[in-house]
Amino acid sequence: MPDPPHAVDPVQLGAYFALIEVSDLLRHAIEQQLREDGDLTFVQFQVLMRLSRSPTGSHRMTDLADAIVHSRSGLTYQAGLLAKAGLVTRSPSPHDERSTTVTVTDAGRALIAQVLPGHEQVVSQMLFEPLSRDDARALAGLLEPVRDHMRAAPPRSATPRRRRGRSSSSRGGP
């Protein structure tokens, strides 16, 4: 067999690099716009958006964490900031005493309304200006199955280790 089953050909490599760089630049531009227009982080914006789109205006902490951030503690921190700013409220869940329900306030909705036009402008200009309507449809058609595939598949066996910095010789030597 000439190649291992996971070889990445040049075309794939190009798509992979472009994906990484595009999402990186896009995210950076979005963060700047949100900071200028409403003093929001992208994570905070995502939390508020998700709450705003919910029929009840609220979600459980865990559901928000799974959807937006990769750790529970990260959401605890952000929810604390948003609550302190009066953009959300936190209350114990009626059915489960240990669960916390997060709800958008009117101020939160107002802030979303304030930053949303600029947000759409940035996304439109940076991401969709070079893409036709059919291109956008094709892009969605390619990425949505990938997203579903990623959500289904666990990301390998999990055995976290220490990071570089500290622990003098973890691998390559001094």
Partner DNA sequence: TCTACTTGCTTCGAATTCGAAGCAGGGTTA
Partner DNA sequence: TAACCCTGCTTCGAATTCGAAGCAAGTAGA
Q: Which positions from 10 through 29 interact with its own copies, judged by CB under 8 A?
A: 11-12, 14-16, 18-29
What lies within 8 Å, CB to CB, of 161 at 6+ separation is 170
Minimal distance in Å, beta carbon 89 to its own copies? 13
Is residue 83 close enough to count as binding its own copies by CB under 8 A?
Answer: no
Answer yes or no: are the C-beta atoms of 35 and 42 closer than 8 Å: no
Per-residue binder mask for DNA (CB under 7 A), 153-172, x = binder? -------x--xxxx------
> How many CA atoms lie less than 13 Å away from 148 in the CB half-sphere?
5
Nearest residue (CB) to its own copies, 19 versus 72: 19
Q: Which of 3, 5, 10, 98 binds DNA (CB under 7 A)?
A: 98
Is residue 93 close enough to count as binding DNA by CB under 7 A?
Answer: yes
Of residues 101 through 160, those in contact with DNA by CB under 7 A are: 101, 160
Helix axes 72-84, 42-53, angle to 10 degrees: 80
Is residue 73 close enough to count as binding its own copies by CB under 8 A?
Answer: no
Is residue 78 close enough to count as binding DNA by CB under 7 A?
Answer: yes
Is residue 91 close enough to count as binding DNA by CB under 7 A?
Answer: no
Is residue 52 close enough to count as binding its own copies by CB under 8 A?
Answer: no
Answer yes or no: are the C-beta atoms of 69 and 85 closer than 8 Å: no
Answer yes or no: are the C-beta atoms of 116 and 123 closer than 8 Å: no
Which residue in the block uniquely carries the two structure tokens 């994570």? 43
Find the distance separating the first CA and the last CA of the chain, reported in whole Å: 38
Minimal distance in Å, beta carbon 55 to its own copies? 19
- Helix or strand or coil: residue 104? strand
- 39 DSSP assignment: S
Interface residues toward DNA, by CB under 7 A:
41, 43, 60-62, 65, 69-81, 90, 93, 96-101, 160, 163-166
